[in-house]
Structure 1
């Protein structure tokens, strides 16, 4: 079997990151990584041309491929964007992204594979840390939004828990960045952009916020852990940079709920998505969804 070179790609609401991935060693070539800002509110041509400009830096032979992690909703099998009401990439709604990228890069469309970003995060961590394929794992990314994925076998799938009912609203309202913004305003009248600013400007207040956040996270996780017999939880995303504040409240809440599970934090950070997306090229159907 001919060895193929693979580019792993992470497309976010504000950036695109890409780099060569060695699937044999499950390792990212750090020296090859390219990151560029993206205007997710730009026109179709502006967005796609920006992506093509980044991806064109990687010289691909006909046997090589590109694995791209995209946020939902997206038709990962056909490569068509369904993003419309998510506040990003509305100009790509209904566009066959695979065909446009292939044409712009001068490669065959069959060399491009798409996967869900949350599922790619979990897949990358699972492969890098060599989790047993029969281990039941949930991956959660905590950032601007709430990403979630399950892995019950060889491949991770999007869990779509962001909109699940939780407390008075939905889960993302209590576990995304905006929760900290609202909490700080309600509790102290402090206007912040997110948890990082809260930690820097009001550390004591941040400790209170993260304590409540950890309790919310534990309460939220208890249900899917019980329902699916989850053995391990992997947490990633920018909010986990404040883990020293919320880790203990999270564990205490799970203990109170009589939930016994292993809690791990991401070892790869953002690189997990690149590895997971790249690994998608190894699957015939090409969609970790």
Structure 2
């Protein structure tokens, strides 16, 4: 019987999901973008997660199968080990603050017989930081694979980050911020997250007198069409990015900075200004177009590690039983 996993890449506006084979490959025609419904009440949001799981399972083109795991790439703050969200103050996912998502989801999945029979008896639900999983995916099958030391960044509604050295995440060391998270690093009048993000671009657009209703994609199209104000927005964004990242690069000394997230798709507009701030620094800049694909690969690996850990603990218990 074949085994599959369901992967979630959770954002403030959208949830991207895919079915993964037991080898970590994204199954054909299963990558779907759903609305995040991040402002919904707890019950409606949990129902939404369960509905996505059901819809994704329905996409599995296999007669005999089980789902061995469900993995979530979730932004923080979040207790990833226990599956508890601590996001608040940003008008997204407020109603699941302090909620144990693992317990709540397992309870709901177990109460639906048609869904329950598709799940392996020992299936796992796991969570980790979205930037960590992106970095893990890049390390396994992406651009970080060729470097011994890299700084991975995702830029979207906020700034996600992870630092990799010799195949391991570096979280607690003097040359990286705490947890490897750069979002709350002081920068200018606030923190990096307020500048190197969608809202950072929106603020620059407002300063240029551009209409407030434009999104980043529309601003990028304006810039590519020759609009000077829109071009100035991305040039300043790249400058800010270089100035914000330079101290972090100087401290960690990566061989490469690997950049993903929705805003990375506009690197043709801000990349030159970014590099101008890094003159004299020897490193490679790599942009990733399919961030979620790398994140899904990371989710698959996380699930396998969790399953292996369960297996080791089970074997240890059996040995103890025989000794007693």
Whether the 8 Å CA contact 1:121–1:272 is kept in 2: the answer is: yes
Partner of 1:251: 275
Residue-by-residue CA offset, 1:48-94 (whole Å, 9 max, x unaligned): 10010110232796671111111101111111111122321111111
Deviation, 1:273, is 1.8
Distance of 1:252 and 1:286 partners within structure 2:
46
RMSD: 2.7
Q: Aligned to 2:73, what secondary structure does the other structure show?
A: strand
Distance of 2:300 and 2:93 partners within structure 1:
22
Query: Which one of 81, 84, 87 corresponds to residue 77 of structure 1?
Result: 81
Task: Label 1:286 to 1:235 Cα distance change in 2 as closer, same or farther (>3 A).
Answer: farther
Partner of 1:177: 198
Deviation, 1:192, is 4.2
Partner of 2:314: none
Question: Tell me, which stretches of 5 or more residues in structure 2 are unaligned?
Answer: 111-118, 172-178, 310-324
Distance of 1:266 and 1:134 partners within structure 2:
15
Deviation, 1:130, is 6.6
Deviation, 1:125, is 1.9
Whether the 8 Å CA contact 1:6–1:66 is kept in 2: the answer is: yes
Deviation, 1:241, is 1.9
Distance of 1:4 and 1:137 partners within structure 2:
32
Partner of 1:54: 52
Query: Which one of 223, 240, 244 corresponds to residue 216 of structure 1?
Result: 240
Partner of 1:114: 127
Partner of 2:17: 18
Residue-by-residue CA offset, 1:268-288 (whole Å, 9 max, x unaligned): 33222222122211224899x
Distance of 2:303 and 2:105 partners within structure 1:
16
- Higher Rg: 2
Deviation, 1:134, is 7.3
Which deviates further from its counterpart, 67-76 or 205-214?
Answer: 205-214
Task: Label 1:286 to 1:227 Cα distance change in 2 as closer, same or farther (>3 A).
Answer: farther
Whether the 8 Å CA contact 2:134–2:298 is kept in 1: the answer is: yes
Which deviates further from its counterpart, 65-74 or 155-164?
Answer: 155-164
Deviation, 1:227, is 1.1
Residue-by-residue CA offset, 1:120-171 (whole Å, 9 max, x unaligned): 1121122122745971211111112111111224344652211110122211
In the TM superposition, what are the counterparts of 1:1-289 in structure 2 within 5 Å? 4-22=3-21, 24=23, 26-57=24-55, 58=57, 64-106=68-110, 111-129=124-142, 131-132=144-145, 135-156=148-169, 159-188=180-209, 190-201=211-222, 203-255=227-279, 258-284=280-306
Deviation, 1:27, is 2.6
TM-score normalized by structure 1? 0.87
Question: Tell me, which stretches of 5 or more residues in structure 1 are unaligned?
Answer: none
Task: Label 1:263 to 1:105 Cα distance change in 2 as closer, same or farther (>3 A).
Answer: same
TM-score normalized by structure 2? 0.78
Which structure has more RCO (C-alpha within 8 Å, separation ≥ 6)? Answer: 1
Number of residue equivalences: 283
Task: Label 1:133 to 1:238 Cα distance change in 2 as closer, same or farther (>3 A).
Answer: closer
Whether the 8 Å CA contact 1:8–1:20 is kept in 2: the answer is: yes
Task: Label 1:43 to 1:212 Cα distance change in 2 as closer, same or farther (>3 A).
Answer: same
